[in-house]
Amino acid sequence: MSFQSEFGYTALPMRVRFGIDVLGQLRSHIAELGIERAIVVCTPEQRTVAESVLARLDDRGAGIFDRAEMHVPVEVADDAVRFAVDRGADACVVVGGGSSVGLGKAIALQHRMPIIAIPTTYAGSEMTPVWGSTRDGHKQTGSSPSVLPALVLYDPGLTTTLPAELSAASGMNAMAHAVEALYAPDASPIISLMAEEGIRAFAEALPRVVTDPQNIDHRTRALYGAWLCGASLGATTMSLHHKLCHAIGGSLNLPHAQTHAIVLPYSMAYNESSAPAAQAAVRRALHTDTSAAVALWELTQSLPIPHALTQIGMTASDIDTVVEQALRNPYSNPREVTEEGLRGLLQDALAGRRPTVSDLRTESAR
C-alpha cells in the first residue's frame, strides 16, 4: 500500500455515541445541548419508533412530523419548517434513514436549528454536511456545516426490525460512499483507512444480516460500517457514482438505496483503470484477487436486492434524461466523464449484466 505523502484533512465538528441502548441517554444529551423543545422527524413507516423517541424527550418534545420522503421534495421541506416554527421548536430529532435525515437537514438549512440523528438504516447521511432537495424532478445538492448533526446516536438495537432486503440495499448504498471516498481528489490516509474498513465491515456483515436479521452482533458490525462509510463521504468530494445516482433518483423518482446498490459495480468498473489505489483497497476489503468492480457485483448478486435498473422502473428511454443531467455540471472524477462512457455504463446497469472494466485504449471501439 503506497503512502499518500501530501493531503489535507478537516475533522467534522460533531459527536457520536455508539452502543446498545444509547437511545436511553437521549434526554440527558438534549439537556446537555441546551435544547428546550425538539420536534421528531420521520417517515410514515417510522411513526412507531418516533413515538417512543418523543416519549423519551418528555417535556422537551414538541411533536412529530412524519411526512419525510425520498429525495426531499421542497414542498415537504417547506411544510416541515412551518411545523417546527408553529411548535416553537429549537431542535430537530431525526429518526430513520436518508429520507428522514435529509428532511432534517432541509429544516436546519432554512431554520438554523441543531439536528440530533438516530439512524435506523445504514444510509450514512447523518455523518455528512451534504444536503439535497428535489423540485420539479430535478435534484439539487449542496454542502453546508449548518446541516451537520450536533449528535448522532447509533443504537444497533433500532436496526433489527429493518427487513433483510432493505438492510442489504441500505448497506450497499453506504458502501458506495466509501468506494468514492477512496478515489476522491481530497482523500487522505485517515479517510482511506476508514473507507476500507467500512467496506470490509459491510462485506462481512450484510450476508449474515440477511440470513439472521435479529442477531445483534451482525447488526452492530453493519452499523459500525455505516458510521465509517458515512464519515468517509462526509470528509470527501462526491464523484461520478453519486452524481449519476442523484440524476437517476431525482429525475425518475426511483428508490434511493436500491439505485445506489445497482449502479455501484458499474461506476467502479468505469473508474477502476483510472483509480488503481482505490481498486486495491476494495480488493483487500473484499478479500479477493479479482477486479474490484466484479467483486462488488458478485456481492450484490448474493443479496436479496434488485440487480438491474429495469427492476426498479428505469427504461432505455430514460437514458437520455439521465445522461443530460449527469453531464450538466462538471465534477471531479478520476476518469473523464463522457456521454459515450455514461451511456455504456447505464446500458450495463439497466440490464444488470456482469461489469467489464474499461480499457481506455480501446474504449472508442466499444
Q: What are 222-245's pLDDT values in tens digits? A: 999 999 999 999 899 889 999 999
The pLDDT score that the predictor gives to residue 196 is 98
**Count of Cβ atoms closer than 10 Å to residue 156 Cβ:** 20
> Model confidence at 365, in pLDDT bands (50, 70, 90)?
very low
The pLDDT score that the predictor gives to residue 101 is 96
For the chain, percent of residues with pLDDT exceeding 90: 81
The pLDDT score that the predictor gives to residue 360 is 43
Model-wide pTM > 0.85? yes
> Model confidence at 364, in pLDDT bands (50, 70, 90)?
very low
Q: Report the DSSP pairing between strands 91-96 and 151-154.
A: unpaired
Q: Which helix (H) or strand (E) holds 18?
A: strand 15-18
The pLDDT score that the predictor gives to residue 331 is 86
Rg (CA), the chain: 20
Mean pLDDT, the chain, whole residue set: 92
Whole-angstrom distance, CA of residue 168 vs CA of residue 99: 17
Q: What are 97-130's pLDDT values in tens digits? A: 989 999 999 999 988 899 999 999 998 989 988 8
Please give the residue that has the higher pLDDT: either 58 or 7. Answer: 58
Question: Is-contact 186 237, C-beta < 8 A?
Answer: yes
List 15's β-bridge partners, or say none: 151
Helix (H, G, I), strand (E, B) or coil at 67: coil
Q: What are 176-189's pLDDT values in tens digits? A: 999 999 999 999 99
For the chain, percent of residues with pLDDT exceeding 70: 96
Total number of residues shown for the chain: 366
The predicted model gives 123-142 an average pLDDT of 86
Whole-angstrom distance, CA of residue 252 vs CA of residue 319: 10
Three state DSSP letters for 115-175: EEEEECCCCCHHHCCEEEEEECCEEEEEECHHHCCCEEEECHHHHCCCCHHHHHHHHHHHH
Which residue segments constitute the domains of the chain, with CATH numbers given? 22-154 (3.40.50.1970), 164-365 (1.20.1090.10)
Residue 10 has pLDDT above 80, yes or no: no
Phi then psi for residue 85, to 5 deg, are -65, -45
